[in-house]
Structure 1
Amino acid sequence: MIQLHRYREVQEFKNQVEPLLSKNEVLHNLALGILHSLQENSKPNFMGVILKDSRAALVLLQTHPKQIILSQIRQLTEGELSKAAELLQEIEIPGLVGERQMVLYLSQKLADLKNQEASLKMDQRIYRLDKVKKAADADGVLVKARLEHLPLVTEWIWEFMGVIGEPVSKEQAVKTGEAFIKEERLFLWEVNGKYVSIANATRPTAHNITINFVYTPQKERKKGYASSCVSTLSQLMLDEGFQTTSLYTDMTNPTSNKIYMEIGYEHVADSALVLFHEKK
């Protein structure tokens, strides 16, 4: 039997789902990392669990205006996913992100039920690393970003978000940059006094932390800077006590996938982001 249980209180939701998600911190790093950052008075857009025979099968969490995170705890058949779609059709769902095959199937069922269209926005791979195999081979050093770096960080965030198809205003880029710097896990790769690449460590859980916002401006690419930056930052996070680091890559970019695998990242799962919109 497939059921939907909605939660109103953050702490109750955390108590129910954190132990389940923590069994695979890398796979569920997105939901877990966000859960860890929520306060008791936080107001997520949506918190829920799809139950199969009274046991959690899918965890749903929305704090982002455009997507609900789907974390698969137990495998569901296509018939069970279809039933889940029926239970979810009355909820306002702008998009779904999660394990690729499950998200693609469920989103199509939901789109049919709601008379909407579902479009694939991002095709990604999730990688994990427990040991750095390739240390930095480009000249340079890793430098923690400070407030004095904010103008450069802002510019690169603005460029990066445009490149990945999620453009932001300069004001939003400033806010994001300030938040990253405040967390003290944003790092620059410096070569001969010049900053050439950037990477951020985010969403820490008990044993894992995620590397994101890996960016090198156009004129500094193909020099190994991003690889060295990510490799050194990954090692730093392991040295800080995290057992693993994880990251998402664009499935359509074979170059970045190859670079990360050379560093020591191993493919764990595929992830998809699907957005819903009205039929034209």
Structure 2
Amino acid sequence: MTSVTYEWQLTHDLDAFLGRAGDFLRARPDRHTVALTVTDGLRRRGMSQYGGSAPVFGTLERDGAVRGAFFRTPPYRLNLTSLDERDARSLAALLADAGIEVPGVSADKDTAEVFAEVWGLRTGARAKRLRSERLYRLAGLAVPETVPPGRPRVADEGDRDLLARWYTEFAESIGEGGYSEPGAWADGRISYGGITLWETPDATPVAMAGVTPPVAGQLRVGPVYTPAPLRGRGYAAAVTAEVSRAALAAGVQEVLLFTDLANPTSNGLYRRIGYRPVADFATCDFTYEG
């Protein structure tokens, strides 16, 4: 019987990582949407956009082919492609031995759970589930029959303060506050037309929906945000349908989004406008004693 050999390759070099893992990531652009968009952002906007610490990347290569990949852009969590228990265990050992800080993990549900378990056994860390999400793909756009009064508008420099404020509110609502500087986030989205607002007839913005830049034929919708006092009026559905329509019109092949499984309202909304489930994902934070 031929023996199977495999190994993880670690690097801080984005080009080297994409040279190894690019084809693997592009083969499943839906399941790898976060890795594709984050690495594209690093390539376009520079390696320091998330902070002063260098990102780290890794690929799992077996029998001459890439079977898995990860990245971490400090201060954010480790992000993994799908791994089985053996490969998660070998990655945990490698990261621990290399002294790489791992404050948490984000991956498909099964991978996140198995990595959290083996990381805890290896390091003594305790995992806490922060968020359970469902990845959706647009199967066929169904524009809402009833659209609230108003119109969509792509956000520009004059909306910077509003976007920064809404981003802060959104990030805090999902437990992600404090990572990105809100003004810099707004500038980045404005630079490529990445936020669309829904305005009432008197030109008052009442909701926003963002999109990532397209890469490998896919883009991801998000964040979608309506301030609490304005919810329940159809603004989120209207603005999400608009950015989805615009993505399809631009030739994007895969229009994706994540929803919080704890929010049945948003999950129902996206299904009504044509999104269908792909896979469930989980985000866990780690705490360390001593």
Residues in 1 aligned to 2:10 and 2:133: alpha-carbon distance in whole angstroms: 28
User: Unaligned 5+ residue runs, structure 2?
Assistant: 49-53
Q: Does 1:6 align with 2:10?
A: yes
Deviates more, 1:82-91 or 1:38-47: 38-47
Correspondence for 2:42: 38
Residues in 2 aligned to 1:48 and 1:24: alpha-carbon distance in whole angstroms: 17
TM alignment of 1:93-242, pairs within 5 A: 93-135=102-144, 137-138=146-147, 139-168=149-178, 172-193=181-202, 194-242=204-252
Please tell me whether the aligned partners of residues 155 and 193 of structure 2 are also in contact (alpha carbons under 8 angstroms): yes
Q: Which amino acid aligns with 2:188?
A: A
Distance 1:6 1:79, change over 3 A: closer
Shift of 1:130: 3.9
Shift of 1:53: 4.4
Shift of 1:267: 0.5
Deviates more, 1:193-202 or 1:176-185: 176-185
Correspondence for 1:245: 255
Residues in 1 aligned to 2:121 and 2:141: alpha-carbon distance in whole angstroms: 45
Deviates more, 1:36-45 or 1:126-135: 36-45
Match of 1:275 among 269, 272, 285: 285
Q: CA RMSD of the aligned region, Å?
A: 2.1
Residues in 2 aligned to 1:182 and 1:267: alpha-carbon distance in whole angstroms: 30
Correspondence for 2:94: 87
Structure-1-length-normalised TM-score: 0.91
Residues in 1 aligned to 2:105 and 2:134: alpha-carbon distance in whole angstroms: 16
Deviates more, 1:152-161 or 1:52-61: 52-61
Q: How many residues align?
A: 276
Please tell me whether the aligned partners of residues 133 and 280 of structure 2 are also in contact (alpha carbons under 8 angstroms): yes
Deviates more, 1:178-187 or 1:78-87: 78-87
User: Unaligned 5+ residue runs, structure 1?
Assistant: none
Distance 1:2 1:88, change over 3 A: farther
Task: Tell me the secondary structure at the aligned position of residue 246 of structure 2.
Answer: helix
Deviates more, 1:195-204 or 1:255-264: 195-204
Shift of 1:270: 0.9
Identity of aligned residues (%): 26
Q: Deviations over 1:192-242 (max 9, x none)?
A: 122111011114213111111100011211011101110111001110111
Please tell me whether the aligned partners of residues 180 and 186 of structure 1 are also in contact (alpha carbons under 8 angstroms): yes
Residues in 2 aligned to 1:83 and 1:53: alpha-carbon distance in whole angstroms: 16
Q: Which amino acid aligns with 1:270?
A: D
Residues in 2 aligned to 1:202 and 1:10: alpha-carbon distance in whole angstroms: 19
Q: Deviations over 1:114-165 (max 9, x none)?
A: 1111111221111111420234632221101011112222221121122112
Structure-2-length-normalised TM-score: 0.88
Shift of 1:3: 2.0
Please tell me whether the aligned partners of residues 219 and 254 of structure 2 are also in contact (alpha carbons under 8 angstroms): yes
Please tell me whether the aligned partners of residues 2 and 83 of structure 1 are also in contact (alpha carbons under 8 angstroms): no
Residues in 2 aligned to 1:146 and 1:114: alpha-carbon distance in whole angstroms: 46
Please tell me whether the aligned partners of residues 170 and 225 of structure 2 are also in contact (alpha carbons under 8 angstroms): yes
Task: Tell me the secondary structure at the aligned position of residue 3 of structure 1.
Answer: strand
Please tell me whether the aligned partners of residues 3 and 87 of structure 1 are also in contact (alpha carbons under 8 angstroms): no
Shift of 1:54: 4.8
